[in-house]
A and B are shown apart, each in its own frame.
Chain A
Amino acid sequence: MTMLEQSWHLTLRNLRFLLRQPWYIGVTLVQPVIWLVLFGALFKNITQIPGFTSPSYIDYLTPGVVIMSALFSSGWLGMGFIEAMDRGVINRFLTSPTSRGALIVGSLAYGGIVTAVQSLIIVGVGVASGARYSSLAGVALLLLVTILISTAFGSFSNAVALLLRKQESLIGAVNFLVLPLAFLSSIFMQQSLMPRWIQVVATYNPVNWAVAAGRAALASGANWHLVAEDSAYLLLLAVVCAWLSTRAFRSYQRSL
C-alpha cells in the first residue's frame, strides 16, 4: 500500500509542476493539432492510391497523430528526473523510505494522465475536421494502447535519464528515435503500400503495434483479435521497460 500511496503523491507532484507551466501545456496541446492539420492537408491525396482502404485521410491520420504525440510527450518524461537529480531532489527521495518503484510509477502515471488528456483533445479535433468513428469503446481502446506505448517509451526515457544524467543526451536519444519510429510505422501510410523492407521493419516496431491496434479498434467491424494481440504485446513491453527503468536507479546510485 505504501508504494501505491507514494506513487500517488509523486504523480500529484508532477501534475502540479505541469499546471504551473501554462506555456508548456499550450505547446503540448497546440503541436499535435498543427500536425493533424498539416499532415492532413499534405497527404490528402494518399486516399487516391489504389489499394488504400480508408475513404478519408483524416479518419486514417487521427489515431496516428494521437500516438506520435504520445511518443513525443512521453519521450520527455526523463527530463523530470534529470531536473530532480540536478537539484538534489532525487537524492532526498532516495534517502527517505520512498521506493524506487514509486518514483518510476509516479512519473509514468503522470505521463499516462497527460497522454490521455492530449489524446482526447486530438481525437476531438480530428472529429471536428471530419473524422468519423463508430464507437466510444473504440476511442477508449485507442487511449489504452496509446497509454501502453507511452508507458514503454516513457520508461525508456526515464532509464536514459538515470543512466546518462544529461539533458543533451536525453534530447539526442529522443530525437534520434521518435521520427524514425513514427515513419517506420503505419502512422502516415498503410502498411501494405510501404516498400517491402519498411513493411518488415514495421512488423517489429512497437509503435506500429499501437497504431495498428488503435486504428483497428476505431474501425467499424473491428478486428478484435488483432487489437487484443497487439495490446498484450504492448502491455508486456510496458511492464518490462518500467521494470528496467527501476533498475536504472542502481546505475545512478553507483555513480554517487
Chain B
Amino acid sequence: MISYQESRLMPISLALPAKDRPVHAAIVAQDLVKTYKGGVRALDGLSLSIEPGTIFGLLGPNGAGKSTTVKILTTLTRQTSGAAYVIGFDVARQPERVRHAIGCVAQGSSLDPELTGRENLTLQGQLHGVNRGELRRRVSELLDRFGLDTAANRLVRTYSGGMQRKLDVALGLVHRPQVLFLDEPTTGLDPEARAEMWAQISRLVAEDGVTILLTTHYLEEADKLAKRLAIVDRGRIVIEGSPEELKAGLRGDTIQMELEAPANQELVQGALNAVEGLREITVEGKVVRARADRGAAAAPAALARLEAGDVRVASVTIARPSLDDVYLRCAGRVFIEADKENAA
C-alpha cells in the first residue's frame, strides 16, 4: 500500500483532514499574525493562496512583512496566530514534511565561502538525503544550467555577487522541490545578472513546474515574472491580482509634475481641482501626481493653472499606469518613500 503522503501523484489536499483542505493551492496562508518581543507587529493578518506551477509575487517596501512571511512558510519561525500550509502540510505542525518539499533561497547569500560551488551543492543534496549517483548527476546538471560549470571547483569566496546568487538558487533546487521560495533573488545584482536570473526563474516554472513564491521590492520584476501578485504594506496584503488586473484598475494615464520649489499643498490642489478630467491629485514636496483619462490633453491645462497660481513647474511626464501607481493608490504612499520610512 502506498502512503498517500509519500506519493507525489496523489492530490496534495488529501494529506489533510477534510475541514482543513486548502484545495488545489500549493501555498495557503490564513490570517497570519507575527508579533515580536517589544510588541512590533511584523504581520497583521496576512492571507494568500498560490496556485501550483505559478509564480506569485509578494511585493512591498523594506519592512513590510515579506521576509517574515517567507520565514513562517519555510518553517524557520512560527506565526503568533493564524495558519499556513505548504502543499497541504501545516507549517507549524508538520515542519519536517514541509522542509522536504521546499527549496529556500534566502534574502542575501547563504553559502559556505570556504567550500567550492560543487561542494556547497553536494552538501545541500546530502542533507536532503539525495542518493549518491543521482546527486552527482543533479549537481553537474545545475552547475551547467546556471553557467557555473567552469567555476565549480573554485572556492565560493572567489565568486562574483551574481555567481553567488545563481549558486544560491541552484542550492534551493538540488533536491527537486515542488515549491521554491525566492526572497529578493535579484537585490544587489547588476542589470545583466538580473535579466539572466529572470530567465532562469521563468524557466523553472515553464520546464519544471515548480511553484514559486517570489518576494521583491522591484515593481518591474513582479510585473515581468509573476502570474499573480500581492502588495504588502505594514504586515498585510493591500491588494492582490494579476499585474494586468491591478494596472487595469487604474483608469487613464499618470501625470507627474516636478515643481521648481515645494509649494503650498492647498494652493496646488485648489488649482488642479479646477482642471477638467484630472483626479487623484497628490502633492508630496516638489512632486505632484494626478491621473487623467487622456493625459496629453489634461497636462497643458494643468500647467496653465499652476503657472496662473505662480507655481513654477520644472518637468512634466505622462505615463501609462505602472505598478508604482498601483502601490501609491493601495498603500496611500509612494513606494520609495515607504521604503525610506521603514529603513529609518
Contacts and interface: CB of A to CB of B under 8 A. Distances in A.
The number of chain A residues touching the other chain, given as a range, is 20 to 34
Contact of B76 (A2, A5, A17, A94): A94
A44 interface: no
Question: Which of A2, A10, A17, A94 has the most B CB atoms < 10 Å from its CB?
Answer: A94
B68 to A, nearest CB: 9
A129 interface: no
B99 A96 contact: yes
B332 interface: no
Interface string B209-233: 0000000000000000000000000
A97 B96 contact: yes
A92 interface: yes
A16 B114 contact: yes
A19 B75 CA distance: 33
Interface string B56-82: 000000000000000100111110000
A70 to B, nearest CB: 24
Contacts of B110: 87-89, 91-92
B109 A88 contact: yes
Contact of B128 (A13, A17, A96): A96
Given A88-B106, A97-B100, A9 B76 contact: no
A88 to B, nearest CB: 3
Contacts of B155: 20
A98 interface: yes
Contacts of B124: 92, 96
A84 B115 CA distance: 13
A95 interface: yes
B71 A256 contact: yes
B127 A16 contact: no
A89 B102 CA distance: 16
Interface string A81-115: 00010011101111111100000000000000000
A53 B255 CA distance: 95
Contacts of A10: 127
A95 B114 contact: no
B293 interface: no
Contacts of B128: 96-97
Of A9, A89, A95, A254, most buried by chain B (CB within 10 Å of CB) is A95
A96 B96 CA distance: 8
Contact of A87 (B104, B112, B119): B112
Contacts, number: 71
B144 to A, nearest CB: 22
**Most chain B beta-carbon neighbours within 10 Å: one of A6, A84, A89, A253:** A89
A109 B33 CA distance: 40
Given A5-B126, A9-B127, A97 B99 contact: yes
Contact of B75 (A6, A88, A95): A95
A87 B168 CA distance: 12
A113 B255 CA distance: 69
A89 B112 contact: yes
Given A87-B109, A96-B127, A13 B77 contact: no
B77 A253 contact: yes
A87 B113 CA distance: 9
A91 B181 CA distance: 13
B126 A254 contact: no
Contacts of A20: 114, 155
Interface in B116-155: 119, 123-124, 126-129, 155
A92 B129 contact: no
Contacts of B78: 253
B139 to A, nearest CB: 14
B163 interface: no
Interface string A213-235: 00000000000000000000000
Contacts of A92: 104, 106, 110, 124, 171
A79 to B, nearest CB: 13
B275 interface: no
Contacts of A97: 96, 99-100, 127-129
Contacts of B106: 88, 91-92
5 contacts: A92-B104, A94-B76, A95-B75, A95-B104, A253-B78
Given A20-B114, A91-B76, 18 more contacts: A2-B129, A5-B129, A13-B112, A16-B114, A17-B112, A87-B110, A87-B113, A88-B106, A89-B111, A91-B110, A95-B74, A95-B99, A95-B104, A96-B127, A96-B128, A97-B100, A254-B77, A256-B77
What 6 A-B pairs are tightest by C-beta distance, nearest first?
A: A88-B110, A256-B77, A92-B110, A95-B104, A95-B74, A9-B126
